[in-house]
Structure 1
């Protein structure tokens, strides 16, 4: 489970850099350029982590890329129409719950301590995703967007897990091709610029490289362990994002978010000990 835990830390760091980039640049430009940076990394790693470049590997990866790309689009659409305090926790918990349910359906049976860690992990994600002071009326549209977005992210994890075991990193190549193409088409259809603002290139590329590094760790972890446990550990990544925001940017955490970070640590301990 060390790979999955490291993946969560790196995912959270990638989100932190991505958040810095989107504060100063266009969202779609950040997404496209960061994913191009990630593509460069995975292509560079292919000789060191070789696999069979089969049609199945690329197709499962492309399906995962479409699911993840749609998840991103729906997530931002939900944020535009609703409250962050509603959309984010629903998306995060759905993204974790979908692979957990799939794992149970296909016959994965973690130990009792591990399942306790899964339950604690779900609680942790719900708490750390809460926006401090979030209030306001909940409307159906943003909730449905959040559920669909979470299902897209969860589908990304499931589809990568279903790729052939001997595929190496090729599913991630397929995933990046599909997701970059999807977001680029969206940018062209909406006539949005895909050029990051001046001064944001470094942080944008850093976000993409870290995101791909985390994807590589997830794929390696999923090839070796249960989808349920790997996904739960990986989904705890918002805790590391929060800690970076606290100690690098000086942002204050709410009591619920602090409780979520503590719950995340407890979940990691329970799953690691099982």
Structure 2
């Protein structure tokens, strides 16, 4: 039950981070948002070392750095897919891949949730697809490139979850420190190679920092959940984050949910109940 609560809270916090990140990208370049938010997360993890202490280990740092590289590349590919494709296709493709990959890997590793929990997993995967759907998809043919990029980005996000699950218990925050350090270096190198500015747009810095802090807080919750529960369950619960992003957009920005998204939110709540009951 503790793992379910932590993973569900993780989804809420991830969704909040995405909400702030979405606001920030309206005012600043994508690489600027990613770089500053990742650096803010790196600074946020430092005070957590005495609160969640652990022994330093090369394995924890290595798994974390590998996760950070996958996460940073996934974000970059995801934004590129959104720029060149239809969001109503790109977003659910990414979300579904990020949820499905850890489920398949967890089952392959021998995890065996109860039948009720597996029904919750199936319901959660459907909920992820529905809440990620956008109105106004438009007609016409969808280019193959953005769909492939969306799939790749989803696999990258899923790999992030899988790699953090491999972190040895008792290593504290060293894995997340490694993840953020690797992602900051990678994004900085990418910006330098592309000659892109990392200066945030006017008035966007507080929003970008908030996105980074919430994202790191969600990573902490996921790490704690993964240490207490099965990858199959905690990863699919964490992947329900689009539901909380939608709810924030609804009540903060006044955006309207379409019928499919509303059904997806309802299914997400049902999925959490089934997984908790299983």
- TM-score after normalising by structure 1: 0.98
Q: In the alignment, does 2:165 pair up with 1:165?
A: no
User: 1:193 is paired with a residue of what secondary structure?
Assistant: coil
Number of the residue aligned with 1:94: 97
Residues 73-108 of structure 1 deviation map (CA, whole Å, 9 limit, x = unaligned): 111111122111111100000000000000000000
Residue from 117, 125, 129 that aligns with 2:132: 129
1:209-230 residue CA offsets vs partner (Å, 9 max, x unmatched): 0100000000000001000100
Q: Which runs of 4+ in 1 moved over 6 A?
A: none
Q: Using the alignment, how far apart are the partners of 2:274 and 2:26 within structure 1?
A: 36
Match of 1:69 among 67, 72, 78: 72
Alignment of 1:261-272 (within 5 A): 261-272=265-276
Q: Of residues 111, 116, 138 in structure 2, which corresponds to 1:113?
A: 116
Give 1:12 shift. Answer: 0.5
CA distance in 2, matches of 1:124, 1:215: 21
The total of aligned residue pairs comes to 274
- Displacement after TM superposition at 1:147 (Å): 1.0
Which runs of structure 2 are paired with 1:200-219 in the superposition (5 Å)?
200-219=204-223
Supply the distance in 1 between the matched residues of 2:77 and 2:235 (Cα, whole angstroms): 21
* Deviation, structure 1 residue 139: 2.1
Give 1:137 shift. Answer: 1.5
Residue 152 (1) aligns with residue 156 (2):
yes
Instruction: State whether structure 2 residue 241 is matched by structure 1 residue 237.
Output: yes
Could you say which residue in structure 2 is the equivalent of 1:24? 27
Distance in 2 separating the partners of 1:207 and 1:184: 18
Quote how far apart the aligned CAs of 1:198 are: 2.1
CA distance in 2, matches of 1:40, 1:74: 25
Q: Which runs of 5+ in 1 are unaligned?
A: none
Residues in 2 aligned to 1:219 and 1:68: alpha-carbon distance in whole angstroms: 14
Normalising by structure 2, report the TM-score.
Answer: 0.97
Equivalent residue of 1:95, what SS?
helix
Aligned to 1:174: 178
Correspondence for 1:40 among 38, 43, 48:
43
Mapped pair 1:249 → 2:266: no
CA-atom RMSD in angstroms? 0.8
Aligned to 1:199: 203
For residue 66 of structure 1, report the CA deviation from its aligned partner: 0.7
Gaps of 5+ in 2: none
User: Which residue is 2:145 aligned to?
Assistant: 141
Cα separation, 2, equivalents of 1:81 and 1:245: 23
Give 1:175 deviation, angstroms: 0.4
